Amino acid sequence: MKRSTVPQPNGSARDTACYIKKKDLNREPIWGGKEPPISQLDIELTERCDNDCIHCSINLPENDAKAKKKELSARQWKDILKQAADLGVMTVRFTGGEPLLREDFADLYAFARCLGLKVILFTNARGITPQLAALFVKMPALEKIEVSVYGMHRKSYEAVSRRPGSYAEFLRGIHWLTKSHIPFVVKGAFLSANKKEIAEFESWAATIPWMDRPPSYSMTFDLRGRRDSPKKNRLIKTLRATPGEVIGILNRHMEAYRREMSRFCRKFLGLPGKKLFACGAGRAVCVDAYGRFQPCLSLRAPDLAYDLKKGTLRDALTRVLPKLKKASAVNPLYLKRCSRCFIKGFCEQCPAKSWAEHGSLDTPVEYLCGIAHAQARDLGLLAAGEKGWEVSAWRARITKMK
Amino acid sequence: MKLTAKAGAVYAPSGDIVAREIEGEIIIVPLTAGIGDAEDDLFSLNETGRAFWKLLDGKKTLAQIARTLAEKYDAPPARIEKDILGLAAELLKRRIINEKKSF
């Protein structure tokens, strides 16, 4: 057998740091430039929540026995997590509903970590107990926990959560995270009950050691993804920020925002064409509480779901991902507007939003279109009354941005 | 404290990490706190590191592993052993491997 030459690391042969190095997955993907089958698995452990937030697009009551009975068991979740790890997935995100409502959350968390998965947890923090904090200390998630904050005071918080006592429990959860030095970040929901607390919220957020930028906000609230409640949808529509409010929030750190947008526009604005899934759908995929695979966390269209109780994650990828690659818009209105709109990069319009609003994948969402146009006007990319799909010399406008 | 690896000692992957092989790359994922310098550090081994890792079975001494690698690659055993001792010390320091004591 031909002998090979000992492979030498860069630099000194005796510099052991060259044999083992830190791995930054963002800068140096594992898959050597190839697309991994999936980069992240979002697991919606339950749709139930201990809050009843006025703007929520998914929540069911905490004690919804019917929903609870349909949820996957710990054994089924572990099987899916194992399949994900075998496919090379590095990160799993536990979300909901409120994932901490699951009595087996700690077991599932530890199982995921023992598979070598990094864990992102989306939570309202009400269920953070000393025991759970101790687990996060002993077995760190390797990603920051993301806590949703609905208000800085009991009155404002509970006007959104609609659960008496929820504010005190949220504070207690934050206390345990802070006391245990567990990395977490906070994010807000911009609603009439807490609008006046933005400065206070941001001052507090700045004291959290792991916040490396100002908090993000939900402002343009999604309608119910399952299209299950016209009444709730009507309420959500009334809660959405106006274009002026969105611009106000975006401009609150104006210099940094303008600088970032200048870079963003040069990189991401342009004519999108009729391809429907130009987003991360299919790279970070989701499994809902009942074992249905979906291309992303928001998209509930049944035609793009796959029942993992009847097949594997690999089967789901094989069947669903080709559909995403092929999916093109056919709606004449979408083709006339969105496919030719150079500011589509600003617009949150996507198949998931279109599905929630209209029950189709390619119908423009007027509210989101209005927000994107307001943002483009604010940045000097559009004149008053002008539409993004009417501008042919859009490249020159982007170039002129400071 | 500087930890020294011993040529005559036996080492094995520690229970504080999970080693995942993805697309031929070995990724060391911390399971407990304090393995990396930052909370979210992961580690990767280069080709020599991977060859070492695959021989790290909790049975062979470092000297035996070094001899196997010297046989596999065309390199002087003494140099390989020196490199292996350095690598093992780094892995020990980070609690990525443990010494297996014989009783």
Domain boundary assignment for chain A? 40-268
Q: How many CB pairs under 8 A join A and B?
A: 112
| Cβ-defined contact of B39 to A183 (cutoff 8 Å) | yes
Quote the CA–CA distance of A197 and A207 in Å, as a whole number: 16
| Cβ-defined contact of B23 to A30 (cutoff 8 Å) | yes
Work out the end-to-end distance of chain A between its first and last CA atoms, rounded to an integer number of angstroms: 63
CA atoms within 13 A on the CB side of B37: 4
Q: What is the pLDDT of residues A355-384, one digit of tens each?
A: 999 999 999 999 999 999 999 999 999 999
- 8 Å CB contact between A277 and A325: yes
Q: Does A183 touch chain B (CB under 8 A)?
A: yes
Q: Share the mean pLDDT of chain A.
A: 92
For residue A14, pLDDT over 50 is answered with no
For residue A384, count other CB atoms closer than 10 A to its CB: 6
The H or E element containing residue A250 is: helix A243-250
Residues of chain A with pLDDT > 90, as a percent, come to: 85
Nearest chain A residue to B88 by CA distance is A16
pLDDT of residue A25: 81
Which is it for strands A145-149 and A184-189: parallel, antiparallel or unpaired?
A: parallel
Instruction: Please calculate the CA angle A210-A296-A109 and round it to the nearest 5 degrees.
Output: 50
- 8 Å CB contact between A115 and B18: yes
Q: Does A302 touch chain B (CB under 8 A)?
A: no
B99 by DSSP, 3-state: which? Answer: strand
> Which pair of structure tokens corresponds to residue A236?
């959500």
Nearest to A120 by CA among A144, A87, A96: A144
Bridge partners of B101?
none
Q: What is the 3-state secondary structure (H, E, C) of A321-370?
A: HHHHHHCECCCHHHHHCHHHCCCHHHCCCCHHHHHHHHCCCCCCCHHHHH
Nearest Cβ partner for A16 among B22, B31, B86: B86
The H or E element containing residue A85 is: helix A74-86
Q: Where do the domains of chain B lie?
A: 10-97
Nearest chain A residue to B50 by CA distance is A19
pLDDT of residue B38: 80
| Interface test mutation site (partner B, options A19, A28, A86, max chain B beta carbons within 10 A) | A19
Instruction: Give the mean pLDDT of A182-208.
Output: 97
pLDDT of residue A88: 92
pLDDT of residue A10: 40
Quote the CA–CA distance of A340 and A170 in Å, as a whole number: 45
Instruction: Give the mean pLDDT of A178-204.
Output: 96
For A147-206, where are the alpha helices, taking DSSP H only?
154-161, 166-179, 198-206
Quote the CA–CA distance of A392 and A363 in Å, as a whole number: 23
| CA B3 and chain centroid, separation | 13
For residue A174, pLDDT over 50 is answered with yes
> Which pair of structure tokens corresponds to residue A326?
């092929």
Collect all residues with Cβ–Cβ distance below 8 Å to A74 and sequence separation of at least 6: A104, A107, A108
Quote the CA–CA distance of B99 and B4 in Å, as a whole number: 11
Quote the CA–CA distance of B72 and B67 in Å, as a whole number: 9
Quote the CA–CA distance of A222 and A296 in Å, as a whole number: 14
Q: Does A134 touch chain B (CB under 8 A)?
A: no
pLDDT of residue A40: 93
- 8 Å CB contact between A116 and A85: yes
CA atoms within 13 A on the CB side of A77: 29
| CA A18 and chain centroid, separation | 36
- 8 Å CB contact between A320 and A351: no
For residue A150, pLDDT over 50 is answered with yes
Nearest Cβ partner for B33 among A5, A20, A140: A140
Q: What is the domain class of B10-97 according to CATH? A: mainly alpha
Q: Does A29 touch chain B (CB under 8 A)?
A: no
Q: What is the pLDDT of residues A200-248, one digit of tens each?
A: 999 999 999 999 999 999 999 999 988 999 999 999 999 999 999 999 9
Q: What is the pLDDT of residues A49-77, one digit of tens each?
A: 999 999 999 999 999 999 999 999 999 99
Sign of CA dihedral A148, A151, A152, A153: negative
The H or E element containing residue A260 is: helix A254-268
Q: What is the pLDDT of residues A316-360, one digit of tens each?
A: 999 998 999 899 999 999 999 999 999 999 999 999 999 999 999
pLDDT of residue B1: 57
Residues in chain A closer than 8 A to B25 (CB atoms): 30
pLDDT of residue A33: 65
> Residue for token digits 């409502």?
A101
Determine the angle formed by the axes of helices A366-378 and A243-250, rounding to 10 degrees. 50
B93 to chain A nearest CA, in Å?
Answer: 12
Quote the CA–CA distance of A274 and A276 in Å, as a whole number: 6
- 8 Å CB contact between A146 and A98: no
pLDDT of residue A402: 72
For chain B, where are the alpha helices, taking DSSP H only?
47-55, 62-72, 77-93
Quote the CA–CA distance of A193 and A155 in Å, as a whole number: 8
pLDDT of residue A15: 47
Nearest Cβ partner for B82 among A14, A22, A88: A14
For residue A17, pLDDT over 70 is answered with no
> Which pair of structure tokens corresponds to residue A296?
């992303």
Residues in chain B closer than 8 A to A22 (CB atoms): 36-37, 41-44
For residue A343, count other CB atoms closer than 10 A to its CB: 26
Residues of chain B short of pLDDT 70, as ranges, are 1-2, 102-103
| Cβ-defined contact of B36 to A31 (cutoff 8 Å) | no
Q: What is the topology classification, in CATH, of domain A40-268?
A: TIM Barrel (3.20.20)
